[in-house]
Amino acid sequence: PFLQPHQGAIENLLRKHIWESQTHGIKWQLKEGCFLDKIDSCPAADVVFFDLYSPKTCGDLWNLGVMNNIYRKIVKTPPGIFLTFSAATSVRSALLSAGFHVGYGISTSLKLETTVASPNPELIARPLDKRWIARFQRSTHRLPSDWVEGEQSFVKRILASPQFSEK
């Protein structure tokens, strides 16, 4: 029901694989297929809505390699911003490790906590803080699935990230 007001835009996007707002300067492109196969051909984006299956269900889409690719190829063009419903510690730590500044996103009707990330710290209204660091240090699932250099080196990398050392 919440998509009903946007039905025309959605139908156009599905039919033509592109939709552009005449009044708001927004342009959407639909790239069908596997995200991992399509990321290199995607244009730079101001906003990435990363609403995939959960990290538990589809871990390969949430690992450090994917976050590095998004950082380099999609979001690096300021003022890029990355939004996801996931608040998983491993996802947030992969984003931090890739170079993003990461924050608490706006809650939704289904999720109390979401995640927002950007190369530009000014776009993060509520950056992850000491409370998140404590959660990260307690977590038994804090590493991205593709991290191979040992847990302690990853912990040091996260704690030394610019987001936490700028304070």
Angle subtended at Cα 129 by Cα 137 and Cα 133, rounded to the nearest 5 degrees: 5
What are the start-end ranges of the H helices in 21-150? 35-38, 64-69, 89-98, 130-138
Asked whether residue 89 carries a pLDDT value surpassing 90, the answer given is yes
Rounded CA-CA distance 23/7 in Å is: 17
Cβ 127 vs Cβ 115: under 8 Å: no
pLDDT at residue number 41: 82
Strands (E), the chain: 18-20, 27-29, 47-49, 81-84, 101-105, 114-118
Query: Which residue reads 């939004």 in tokens?
Result: 83
Positive or negative torsion for Cα 6, 8, 11, 15: negative
DSSP 10: H
pLDDT at residue number 101: 95
Q: What is the CA radius of gyration of the chain?
A: 17
Tell me the mean pLDDT in the region 8-37.
86
Q: Is residue 87 very low, low, confident or very high in pLDDT (cuts 50, 70, 90)? A: very high
